[in-house]
Amino acid sequence: MRLVGLTGGIASGKSTVSNLFKDAGVPVVDADVVARNVVQKGTGGWKKIVKAFGDEILLDNGEIDRARLGQIVFSDPSKRQLLNRLLAPHISSGIFWEMAKLWMKGCKVIVLDIPLLFETKMDKWTNPVIVVWVNPETQIERLMSRDGCSEEQAQSRINAQLPLDWKKSEADIVIDNSGSLDDTKQQFQEALRKISEPLTWKERLRSRDGLISVIMCTAVGVLLAQKNLL
């Protein structure tokens, strides 16, 4: 099984590329979706956040006000780190479970869409790593347009993350999303071709079919050994 890491920066267009993978039929485990699920009302993650940040981050229906929580953690690095520590175990287990379900289905290639891929060291478990990059000017403009925030607020949120240029330097594949959607799609097709190449023997062993083959070979070996002993 090939685990492909997909990451980027805020407003870099990672979700656009993630959706392109889905449209191409490649299974994607979306960490943002997992994160939303683990903080739903009544869950363990929800209880931890309410205990740490108080009832003021709740909506009238009891769900977490993600916009309000985002304002708090993006303006205070210590609270952002606290939130990451609280949710990391829940998100990690959720990602693992989604991977396990796809493994059981026999999927050969899985894309892990994780915004904090490098921060959580998940890049060590993925190969290749794809970074969706965008130039700084376009990133700020898109973030201001998307969230209706000021330039200062947009820059503050960008500064709260690892530099996108550094992520770019650590990537195996870079998709430059600074231009048109057609440009991005063209680069995506090249990335899709690369991740669709035949699996290595290590990747085959990690797949469901590979494990079944190992079990069958082991069983045959045991049977032959027993026969020779008789």
Give the pLDDT confidence of 51-107 residue by residue, as tens digits. 999 999 999 999 999 989 988 988 888 998 899 889 888 998 899 999 999 999 989
SS3 state at 132: strand
- Tracing tokens 């965008």 back to the chain, one arrives at 134
Across 108-112, 166-170, 186-190, 221-225, least confident range: 221-225
DSSP state of 28: E
Does 113 lie in the same domain as 12?
yes
Does 92 lie in the same domain as 134?
no
Q: Mean per-residue pLDDT for 118-122? A: 90
Does 53 lie in the same domain as 153?
no
CA separation for the pair 46, 55 (Å, rounded): 11
- Averaged pLDDT of the chain: 88
- What domain range is 69 assigned to? 31-104
SS3 state at 52: helix
- Domain closes at, from 57, 81, 104: 104
DSSP 163-224: -HHHHHHH-SEEEE-SS-HHHHHHHHHHHHHHHTSPPPHHHHHHSHHHHHHHHHHHHHHHHH
| Residue 200 clears pLDDT 60, i.e. is over it | yes
Residues 6 or more apart in contact with residue 109 via CB below 8 angstroms: 1, 2, 4, 26, 27, 195, 196
pLDDT of residue 208: 63
Number of domains in the chain: 3
CA separation for the pair 103, 112 (Å, rounded): 13
Global pTM? 0.84
